[in-house]
Amino acid sequence: MDSGKKTHRMSLFLLLLVLTVFPGNAWAVQAHGAPEGLYVHQLAHVFYTAALCYLIWDVRRSAFRSRGWRFLQVFCVLMVFWNMLAFTGHILAAYITSADYVSDTGYLDARLQGPFTSVKLWYYFSRLDHLFSVPSLFFLYLSMRAIYRSRCEEEEA
């Protein structure tokens, strides 16, 4: 490898390192404008759920019976649950105000304060959506790995 490519790669690595260690604004987090942004976001949840349901249906009716395709169905089911939970959480967020939070040391330490109503409890549980999204992504990984391996075995035979 010539020194020009090495220098270019090293400078790109250093730039990414600096941007990671010293971040500026968190532009990846977007607050939706009211109310249109929320409507579009909620519709995206509905369409994503519909697409996942269609994928489950299509895989079940086809001849795909291998382990990888079953893992893909598990991924879709978990993501449907995640979508329903996130959709519900977005609706309940409209009923939660900033006065309902206590934050002693900042945003990462924010907690709901009492008295706890059913809306606050459902909102709290809707914020635990990672309990569905993380396992679903793991099943997607298992699915892709199993399908890839089965294709490699088919090509070798």
Q: pLDDT tens digits for 44-69?
A: 999 999 999 999 999 999 877 889 99
The answer to whether the beta carbons of residues 101 and 51 sit under 8 Å apart is no
Task: Give the helix ranges, DSSP H, for 32-129.
Answer: 36-61, 67-93, 118-126
For residues 133, 135, 141, 145, the Cα torsion angle rounded to the nearest 10 degrees is: -160
Segments in the chain below pLDDT 70: 1-2, 23-33, 106-108
Helix, coil or strand: residue 110: strand
Q: Which residues pair with 102 in a beta bridge?
A: 111
Distance CA 78, CA 131 (A): 9
The pLDDT of residue 78: 97
- pTM, entire model: 0.73
Distance CA 31, CA 136 (A): 25
The pLDDT of residue 70: 93
Here the tokens at position 52 are 């996942």
Distance CA 133, CA 79 (A): 6
The pLDDT of residue 49: 97
